[in-house]
Structure 1
């Protein structure tokens, strides 16, 4: 099935050029120059992935993402101003799957979109009614349960909603509890297409993971930091 990509940016030139590039690659595109209009459209007919500019009038990309994350785990890529680390950190902390700094290569954006869509496929394939979906074993580690087929995570029986990237990072850590995973190993698990991301991206996703679990358990400490080495999951 052809993936639908939503583009939200108040720069008409970017909307036009990126939309044409994506359509050339076989994607269906929807374009919005207003965050409020996009939010309403997503509720009525969600795309497969959204590319959001952060700096927009009325409703900016950060607010749009915040509102989206109240009800959806729609994969999101942020477009940020060059060298604006605060925007990048905020976007990742709020649940974006990735970010790209302007000015950006359309080729890089398309590669990132394809990578995130591929990472989302296992959860979609396992949904009921999918003839191609095959059951995947539920991963249980202490109070954690992860169901890859349904993209479902629980802690102490309470649901924890994760983005695709967060799910893959946690799954990599929990699959071998007690074993330290370096940032490079976590990047390889979450970004499997030789796409460069820096250490700050992984650190931001880890912070977001901890924050989400602490919303259901204030004492959550299963994701441990080994300074200078990486991260590990403890199921004790």
Structure 2
């Protein structure tokens, strides 16, 4: 059973999402919370009770800009493996939304203004991505990294790093294809089920690459295996000297 939780301040959108998701996702239970400026701990308690496979946050709630992003960040402090996405009508007009969403570990941001297409993409994401690890069994050792595809975990110097689903997909793809250059489009297309939008996918990949690099630096400030290839994209290029 896939448990989905919607946190939104507009009951109309809650009703739309409930109807669409319950009709399109088999074996799912969709619950919702109408945001009314409740204390953050209220939502934390609900997440603890429901144990959702996925949380859908509205970005701007209760008249507070990017309140959903702040709330997601708060909940993720306790539940570091929380899988969540954002829904907003401001995706095309606020360039900071994608960066801020990526910085707190969101898988992606869906557009209310393109709801017909994005709800279909969201359905595919839920059906195909949340349990993707079931088909992955290999462990790849690329010192000083170790990638466990079944557990969907990555360790640097034997220290496990908490990567989002999209960060894991980008990094593992680069590692499996060491020294091969991939464009931002190719990385985006590989790592998500989203429709590629020309005006947003580049910023999304740049934000996730930065997040991966920052997480590496927290453990080893000299470890920088993802190289930028000017005007083309990125590659994994690291020679390990033990």
Give the TM bin, normalised by the shorter chain: 0.7 to 0.9
Alignment coverage as a number of residue pairs: 225
Deviation of 1:69 after TM superposition, in Å, equals: 2.7
User: Which 5+ residue runs of structure 2 have no aligned equivalent?
Assistant: none
For normalisation by structure 1, the TM-score amounts to 0.86
Deviation at 1:102, TM superposition (A): 3.1
Correspondence for 2:49 among 41, 44, 53: 44
* Dislocated runs of 4+, deviation >6 Å: none
Residue of structure 2 equivalent to 1:7: 6
> How far did 1:116 drift?
4.9
Distance, in Å, in 2 between the alignment partners of 1:45 and 1:72 is 16
CA distance in 1, matches of 2:33, 2:207: 28
- Structure 2 SS opposite 1:231: strand
Aligned to 1:196: 196
- The equivalent of 1:65 in structure 2 is 72
CA distance in 1 between counterparts of 2:24 and 2:123 reads 11
The Cα of 1:38 is off from its aligned counterpart by 2.9
For the aligned residue pairs, the C-alpha RMSD in angstroms reads 2.1
- Give the match for residue 211 of structure 1: 214
Q: What does residue range 1-236 of structure 1 map to in structure 2 within 5 Å?
A: 2-26=1-25, 27-34=28-35, 36=40, 37-57=42-62, 60-70=67-77, 71-82=79-90, 83-123=93-133, 125=134, 136-191=137-192, 193=193, 195-197=195-197, 198-236=201-239
Query: Does structure 2 conserve the Cα–Cα contact (< 8 Å) formed by 1:139 and 1:145?
Result: yes
- Secondary structure at the residue paired with 2:113? coil
TM-score (norm 2): 0.84
Residues 47-88 of structure 1: CA distance to partner in whole angstroms, max 9, x if unpaired? 111111111238921122212332332221112342111122
The range that moved more, 99-108 or 195-204, is 99-108
Judging changes above 3 Å, is the alpha-carbon distance between structure 1 residues 99 and 119 closer, same or farther for their aligned structure 2 residues?
A: same
Whole-angstrom CA distance in 1 between matches of 2:114 and 2:43: 22
Q: Which moved more, 1:27-36 or 1:173-182?
A: 27-36
- In the aligned structure 1, how far is the partner of 2:196 from the partner of 2:24? 21
Per the alignment, in what secondary structure is the counterpart of residue 182 of structure 2? Answer: coil
Offset at residue 194 of structure 1 (A):
6.5
Paired residues of 2:21 and 2:123 also in contact (CA < 8 A): no
What displacement does 1:183 show?
1.2
1:47 & 1:114 partners in 2: Cα distance?
17
Equivalents in 1 of 2:73, 2:194: separation in Å?
Answer: 29
Distance across 2 between alignment mates of 1:8 and 1:180: 39
Say if 2:53 and 2:130, in contact at 8 Å, map to a contact too: no
